[in-house]
Amino acid sequence: MDIHPEELADTVITVGDPGRVSEVTKYFDSLESHQEHREFISHTGYLGKKRITVLSTGIGPDNIDIVMNELDALANIDFETRTIKSAHRALQIFRLGTSGSLQPEIPVDGLVAGTHGLGLDNLLHFYRPELQEDERQILQAFSAYTQLSSPLSNPYITAASSALLKHFAKGYHSGITVTCPGFYGPQGRILRLGLARPELVQRLQEFHFGSHRISNFEMETSAIYGLGRLLGHQCLSLNVIVANRVAKTYSKDAKVAIDNLIKTSLEIIEKI
């Protein structure tokens, strides 16, 4: 990613689109560094007294695997000795992204704070996740209801950082954010290819376990939450709804909606 260790702030904002980095940092009071490598663009600067790094990730869990591991390496590995530092440095990592709503009452242009990241990809299965009991129960109920299992998918789940989530109650809907390994078939879209699970979107929309339900889906959150917990970082995914897949409505101006997500979230992040 071409970020030097001294350029990494303790608070990190990730965005998928490289062009969105400057859309976030235009609200900063000052910038101290700017790096670019492929789809990974980073700015570090100050919002008031808060030092923040904004980093583009590109799309998908595979890119998040690179981003999360390399952010952690910058924070917790001594590059000169190639050894793990004795004192662990925990980052606060916020995703600011776009997603589709799976509930009729979560409208386009609405904001969602993901209580959990539920992965339909397979990334975390290459590591050694340990589920909390409530996560295990949600996952068992979800797998039984959707009948999603290998070879199509073997879902996993990780909760958001409760320390961060509590700051995003007002003005944000909440629910489980599902992460899909693709944009078309995995999210129920059809161009020329038929779907193996044409009922999947409806199943996601209907699923509930106690007070938990699936609010939205996108392509990065589960990997951020899963790797973030394993690496000892606090993570929270904040998304603006650009399409309601149940009501079949779409944002009339996604750029304005994204800007509202950025401004609203920055006001809160600055104070944490």
Alpha-carbon span 97 to 111, nearest angstrom: 10
Res. 150: pLDDT tops 80: no
- pLDDT per residue as tens digits for the range 6-36: 999 999 999 999 999 999 999 999 999 999 9
Alpha-carbon span 267 to 263, nearest angstrom: 6
At 153 the pLDDT is 72
Q: What is the amino acid identity at position 31? A: L
- pLDDT per residue as tens digits for the range 103-119: 999 999 999 999 999 99
Q: How would you write 195-262 as a 3-class SS string?
A: CCCCCHHHHHHHCEECCEEEEEEECCHHHHHHHHHHHCCEEEEEEEEEEECCCCEECCCHHHHHHHHH
CA 54 from centroid of its chain's CA atoms: 14
Are 131 and 181 a contacting pair, CB within 8 Å? no
Q: Provide φ and ψ at 4, rounded to 5°.
A: -85, 150
Mean pLDDT of 203-231: 97
For domain 5-269, the CATH architecture is 3-Layer(aba) Sandwich (3.40)
Res. 66: pLDDT tops 70: yes
What are the extents of the domains in the chain? 5-269
- pLDDT per residue as tens digits for the range 182-213: 999 999 999 999 999 999 999 999 999 999 99
